[in-house]
Amino acid sequence: MNAMFNISYGLYILTAKTEKINGCVINALSQVTSTPNRIMIAVNKNNFTTEQILKTKKFNISILNEKADFDLIKRFGFASGKNTNKFENFSNYEIAENEIPYITQGTNSYISAEVVEVRDLGTHIEFLADVTEEVVLNEIPSITYAYYQANIKPKNTIPQKKVVYICSVCGYVYESDPLPEDFVCPLCLHDARYFVKTEV
């Protein structure tokens, strides 16, 4: 068990704008001071959104709530904005005062911010930013990463394998585990020694 897994994270949609509007899902956000009101985010260097923020020094954060669905997270978190228009056929957003979109579906609030400091963290870029606007949209609780894993992320649908015993003489299948030592095939009357254990 890794102690790092016990740190609580939220899920957010980070949006930015250059020649096009774009967004990505992040989980590293925290308020670092209240006076001035400043937040910190960390974003993967490979994200197109990172490139946009480095150019404009502005971004919005939409805070996901417990009504968010997997399709929303998939739209903004499973593809790159470098070769995908994540806002295509998507109307659940508005434009904030900073001319950057914020998401209105499955979110409870948004924060607009302007970058005051940039730090290279290796794989990620850290942005320290002043909050310029903060708006509450509803009172539905924010999701945590743990809530996402337990309630939103699709469960593994790969069927589990089961153990069966197949008679090597006639092919009869015994569908329980274990095979009783005194079992006799009902078709060919051979005993348990003739059965082969198999996973199907």
Architecture of domain 163-199: Single Sheet (2.20)
Q: What is the mean pLDDT of residues 127-139?
A: 97
pLDDT (0 to 100) of residue 187? 76
d(CA 48, CA 17): 10
Nearest C-alpha neighbor of 151 from the set 159, 141, 143: 143
d(CA 198, CA 200): 6
What residues have CB less than 8 Å from 159, skipping those under 6 apart? none
DSSP 3-state of 6 = helix
Bridge partners of 163, per DSSP, are 199
Angle value at C-alpha 98, between 100 and 41, nearest 5 degrees: 70
Query: Confidence class of residue 158 from pLDDT cuts 50, 70 and 90?
Result: low
pLDDT (0 to 100) of residue 79? 84
Percent of the chain with pLDDT over 90: 66
pLDDT (0 to 100) of residue 123? 92
In this structure, which topology does domain 3-152 adopt according to CATH? Pnp Oxidase; Chain A (2.30.110)
Helix/strand/coil (H/E/C) assignment for every residue in 70-106: HHHHHHHHCCCCCCCCCCCCCCCEEECCCCCEEECCC
Yes or no: say if 37 and 76 are a contact pair by the CB < 8 Å rule. no
First to last CA, the chain: 31
Q: Which has more confidence, 113 or 181?
A: 113
pLDDT (0 to 100) of residue 157? 57
pLDDT (0 to 100) of residue 159? 62
Is the confidence at residue 182, as pLDDT, over 60?
yes
What is the amino acid identity at position 181? E
Which residue spans of the chain are classified as CATH 2.30.110.10?
Answer: 3-152
Q: What is the mean pLDDT of residues 21-41?
A: 96
Query: Confidence class of residue 39 from pLDDT cuts 50, 70 and 90?
Result: very high
Which residue spans of the chain are classified as CATH 2.20.28?
Answer: 163-199
Instruction: At 34, list the tokens.
Output: 């209240």
